[in-house]
C-alpha cells in the first residue's frame, strides 16, 4: 500500500476527469493522480476512433460498463440497456459525438429556480467557449481557442436537402447554430470529430499533457471506497487486478458519472442512512439525495423506407466495408468519417411550453444503435424524444460489495406529462416527414407504422421499443434543498475535502445531449477548485419564444 500523498486524487478518467487532469496539473506545484477503472483509449483501435464505428464500443463490453436497468414497470418490465464508458475518456469514447450545449433557459432555470446564481447562462457561456475549438470559426457564442475540436458536417446526402425543406414546410424555422443565439429550429449538429477521427476528452485533454511530471494516470484501477478521518475525506481505496491499494490526497474529486459517483458515495457511507445501515455500511453523512433524482432522455426511432437508392444502406454491406475503411484510414474521408447524426433540431410540441421540449436527430439510413438495419433496403429515420421530462428514478447499491452493479431504475413513462409528450413527439415526427419535399423519397412508414395511430397504440409502441438516449444525470444534484448532494462549488454537503464533478451534479437535465454541459461543468469546476477568478460573465442575448405568438414559429 502506497503512502504517497497527492494534492488532488481524481476518481474517473472520463469526460470531466480528463478536463480536471489537464487543468489541475497545469501548475507544476500540484501533484495530481487520476484513477481510471478502464483501459487506455488505444489510438489504433478503430472501434473508438472511427466515427461511423460507434456501434462497436456501444454494443461490446471491452470499453463499457454495460449496465442495465431494473425491470422498468411502465416499459413492459423491460431492462433498458445503459452503456457507460469504462476507458480513458469515459463515455466520450462511446457516445454519438453530437455536441449540444442545451438551451440557454436550462441554465437560467438553474440560477433562478434552483438557487445557483453562478450557474446562469451568462456564467456558463464563457466556459463553453473556453473548451471549444470550432473549426468553421467563432462568433460571440463559439470558441476557437480550446482543446475540444468541433467539426460542422456537410450534410451532403440528398435526404438532408429534403429534410431541411420539409421542416420549413411543416412550419418550423432553420437555425444557423443550435448552440448559438437560437436553439429552436432545425440545422446542422456540430460533432466532436477532428480530421475524421473521434476527438474524445482524453485526446483533447489528457494525452497532450501525459509528459507532465506532476500528473499520474493509473488504469484498470477501480475505486472501492473513499477513506475518511471523521468527516474529512483523506484518500481512496481501489482495486487493481487482485491487489487492493490505498492512495491519499489533499482533495478527493469523484468524476465517475451519474451511476458510478452515487454508487461510490453510498459504498463510502454517504447516502440514505437507513438504507446503508441495512447493508452494514458505516455512516459518514446521511444524505438521502445520493442516487435519487436520476434523469435521462428516452428516445425512439421513427423510420421510413426510401423510394430511391439515396440512403447509406449500401455501407452496411460487408463487401463495401473494406473500401470504406481504406478511404477513412488513408484519405480521412468517406462514410466512415462521419457519425451521421449530422442534422436535427428542437421544437416545442405545444404552445404551453416556454422553450423546446422535443429533440430530433435525422439520419439518412434506417438503423439501430446496435448496427442492425430493420429495413431490407434504403431508408431514413428520425430519433425523437422529450427533453424536459419530469420522470425521475434512482441508483442504489444492492450490497456492500463494490464490484456488484447498483440497482438502476429510470421510471420511463411513469408520468402523465411524459406520456402526453410522447404522443406529441410521434405525431410531430410524422408531420415533419409527411411534407411535399419528401413525396418523391418517402416510402412506407416502417416504425411505428400503421399499427400505432391512437394515443394508446403510440404509447404501447414506445413501451415496447423505446431506448435510453444514454444521458443519465442528476443523481448527486447541486443545490440546497433536502435532496441536494453538492453545493454550488460542487463540494459534498456535510463533509470536507470531497467534490463531485460530472453529470450527476446537474440539478436538472439539459435540453439535448449532455456531453457538452459536462465539459463546461468540469471547466468551471477547475477554476473553483484552484481558487481562480471566474471568467467574466458573457451576457450574449439568446432567443426566447414570445408567448403571445401562436403556431409553431
List, in sequence order, every beta strand (DSSP E) within 256-333: 270-271, 285-286, 292-294, 298-306
- The residues that bridge with 302 in the sheet, in sequence order, are 382
Specify the 3-state DSSP secondary structure of 8. Answer: strand
Q: Tell me the C-alpha distance between 156 and 135, whole Å.
A: 18
Query: Which candidate, 298, 391, 359, places its Cα nearest to that of 511?
Result: 359
Q: Is 541 left (phi over 0), alpha (psi -120 to 50) or beta?
A: beta
CA–CA separation, 518 and 259 (whole Å)? 14
Going by DSSP bridges, is the β-strand pair 298-306/232-240 parallel, antiparallel, or unpaired? unpaired
Q: What is the 3-state secondary structure (H, E, C) of 55-75?
A: HHHHHCCCCECCEECCCECCC
- Phi/psi of residue 484, each to 5°? -75, 150
Cβ-in-10-Å burial (0-12, 13-18, 19+) of 458 comes to: buried
Per-residue cell: 232: 474529512
Helix (H, G, I), strand (E, B) or coil at 470: coil
* Peptide bond just before 448 cis, omega within 30 deg: yes
Place of cell 400505432: 452
Report how far residue 213's alpha carbon sits from residue 201's, in angstroms, rounded to the nearest whole number: 20
Closest CA to 225 of 279, 266, 272: 266
Kindly give, in sequence order, each residue whose CB lies less than 8 Å from that of residue 64, ignoring residues fewer than 6 positions away: 57, 58, 83, 84, 85, 86, 87, 94
d(CA 192, CA 59): 20
In whole angstroms, what is the distance from residue 222 CA to residue 225 CA?
A: 9
Q: Is 383 among the catalytic positions?
A: no
> What gap in Å lies between CA 124 and CA 140, rounded to an integer?
14
Where does 332-449 have alpha helices with state H? Answer: 416-433
CA distance 294 to 219: 28
Of the candidates 49, 131, 394, 471, the residue annotated as catalytic is 471
In the block, cell 444502406 appears at 313
**Considering only CA atoms, which of 212, 158, 199 is closest in space to residue 31?**
212
By annotation, the residues acting in catalysis are: 471
Amino acid at each position: 500500500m502506497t503512502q504517497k500523498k497527492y494534492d488532488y486524487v481524481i476518481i474517473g478518467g472520463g469526460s470531466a476527469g480528463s478536463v480536471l487532469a489537464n487543468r489541475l496539473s497545469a501548475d507544476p506545484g500540484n501533484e495530481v493522480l487520476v484513477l481510471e477503472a478502464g483501459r487506455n483509449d488505444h489510438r489504433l483501435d478503430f472501434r473508438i476512433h472511427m466515427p461511423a464505428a460507434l456501434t462497436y464500443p456501444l454494443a461490446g463490453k471491452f470499453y463499457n460498463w454495460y449496465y442495465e436497468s431494473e425491470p422498468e414497470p411502465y416499459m413492459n418490465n423491460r431492462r433498458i440497456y445503459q452503456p457507460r464508458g469504462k476507458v480513458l475518456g469515459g463515455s466520450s469514447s462511446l457516445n454519438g459525438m453530437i455536441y449540444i450545449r442545451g438551451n440557454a433557459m436550462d441554465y437560467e432555470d438553474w440560477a433562478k429556480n434552483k438557487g445557483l446564481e453562478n450557474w446562469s447562462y451568462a456564467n456558463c457561456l464563457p466556459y463553453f467557449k473556453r473548451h471549444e475549438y470550432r473549426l468553421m470559426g467563432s462568433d460571440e457564442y463559439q470558441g476557437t481557442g480550446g482543446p475540444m475540436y468541433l467539426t460542422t458536417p456537410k450534410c451532403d446526402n440528398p435526404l438532408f436537402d429534403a429534410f431541411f425543406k420539409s421542416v420549413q414546410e411543416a412550419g418550423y424555422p432553420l437555425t444557423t447554430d443550435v448552440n448559438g443565439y437560437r436553439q429552436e429550429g432545425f440545422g446542422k449538429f456540430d460533432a466532436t470529430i477532428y480530421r475524421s477521427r473521434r476527438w474524445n476528452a482524453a485526446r483533447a485533454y489528457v494525452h497532450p499533457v501525459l509528459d507532465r511530471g506532476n500528473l499520474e494516470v493509473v488504469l484498470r484501477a477501480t475505486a472501492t471506497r473513499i477513506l475518511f478521518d471523521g468527516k474529512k475525506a483523506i484518500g481512496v481505496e481501489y482495486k487493481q487486478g487482485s491487489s487492493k491499494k490505498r492512495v491519499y490526497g489533499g482533495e478527493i474529486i469523484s468524476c465517475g458519472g451519474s451511476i458510478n459517483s452515487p454508487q461510490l458515495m453510498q459504498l463510502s457511507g454517504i447516502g440514505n442512512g437507513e438504507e446503508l445501515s441495512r447493508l452494514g455500511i458505516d455512516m459518514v453523512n446521511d444524505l438521502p439525495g445520493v442516487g435519487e433524482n436520476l434523469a435521462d432522455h428516452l428516445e425512439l426511432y421513427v423510420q421510413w423506407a426510401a423510394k430511391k437508392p439515396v440512403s447509406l444502406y449500401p455501407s452496411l454491406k460487408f463487401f463495401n466495408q473494406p473500401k470504406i475503411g481504406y478511404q477513412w484510414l488513408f484519405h480521412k474521408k468517406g462514410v466512415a468519417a462521419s457519425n451521421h447524426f449530422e442534422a436535427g433540431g428542437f421544437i416545442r410540441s405545444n404552445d404551453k411550453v416556454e422553450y423546446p421540449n422535443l429533440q430530433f436527430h435525422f439520419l439518412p439510413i434506417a438503423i439501430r444503435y446496435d448496427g442492425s438495419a430493420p429495413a431490407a433496403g434504403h431508408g431514413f429515420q428520425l430519433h425523437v424524444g422529450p427533453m424536459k421530462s419530469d420522470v425521475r428514478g434512482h441508483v442504489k447499491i444492492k450490497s456492500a460489495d463494490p464490484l456488484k452493479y447498483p440497482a438502476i431504475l429510470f421510471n420511463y413513462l411513469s408520468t402523465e406529462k411524459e406520456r402526453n409528450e410522447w404522443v406529441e413527439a410521434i405525431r410531430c415526427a410524422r408531420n415533419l416527414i409527411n411534407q411535399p419535399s419528401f413525396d418523391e423519397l418517402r416510402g412506407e412508414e416502417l416504425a411505428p407504422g400503421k399499427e400505432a395511430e391512437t394515443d394508446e397504440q403510440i404509447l404501447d409502441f414506445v413501451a415496447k421499443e423505446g431506448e435510453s438516449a444514454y444521458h443519465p444525470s442528476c443523481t448527486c444534484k447541486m443545490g440546497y434543498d433536502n435532496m441536494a448532494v453538492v453545493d454550488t462549488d460542487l463540494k459534498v454537503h456535510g463533509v470536507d475535502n470531497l467534490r463531485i464533478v460530472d453529470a450527476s451534479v446537474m440539478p436538472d437535465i439539459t435540453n439535448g445531449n449532455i456531453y457538452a454541459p459536462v465539459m463546461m461543468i468540469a471547466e468551471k469546476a477547475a477554476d473553483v477548485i484552484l481558487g481562480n477568478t471566474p471568467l467574466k460573465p458573457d451576457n450574449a442575448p439568446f432567443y426566447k419564444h414570445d408567448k403571445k405568438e401562436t403556431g409553431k414559429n
